[in-house]
Copies of this chain bind each other. A is one copy, B any other.
Amino acid sequence: MPISAYNGAMARAASTTDAFNAVAEPRRRQILDLLSAGERPVNDLVAVLGLPQPIVSKHLRVLREVGLVDVRDLGRQRVYCLNGRHLKPIHDWVKAYEASWSRRFERLDGVLEELTDQEFTGQQEFRKKEDRHGSDGD
């Protein structure tokens, strides 16, 4: 029995419940980008984005539920502003992979996709399962 035992009951994992998902939607990112320049009322976003207002409101709702934006009532307007706090986990996660694109993998950039195991492991010819990942340690 492996590690996590696999709870095979839910038809789907998470959804729009975390920052990762919220940000997976391009429009939502666009909204955040706009808000990063400063707070804006919905109408402003609607105008700039060129989307129907309900759509924008819905995206804002998702962003809000995830905590990526805060709202403030201003008369009959609702002013949204960025709250980058929940963006940090994402940053922390990707940052751990920084090494994989900066240097060291650089030269493999397109090469890895081209070369076959033939070319790559030409002399070794290992097909016994024992070798499969004998040297994980990078």
Residues of A within 8 A of B (CB): 1-6, 8, 13-14, 20-21, 23-27, 29, 32, 36-41, 44, 46-52, 67, 70, 72-77, 79, 81-85, 87-88, 90-91, 93-101, 105, 109, 112-113, 116-117, 120-121, 126-129, 132-133, 135-138
Copies in the complex: 2
Residues of B close to A73: CB separation below 8 A: 116-117
Whether the pair B109, A50 counts as a contact (CB closer than 8 A) is no
Taking a contact as CB atoms closer than 8 A, the residue among B37, B67, B79, B91 that contacts A132 in the complex is B79
Q: Which residues of B contact A41 (CB under 8 A)?
A: 129, 132-133
Instruction: Write the chain B residue with the least CB distance to A39.
Output: B133
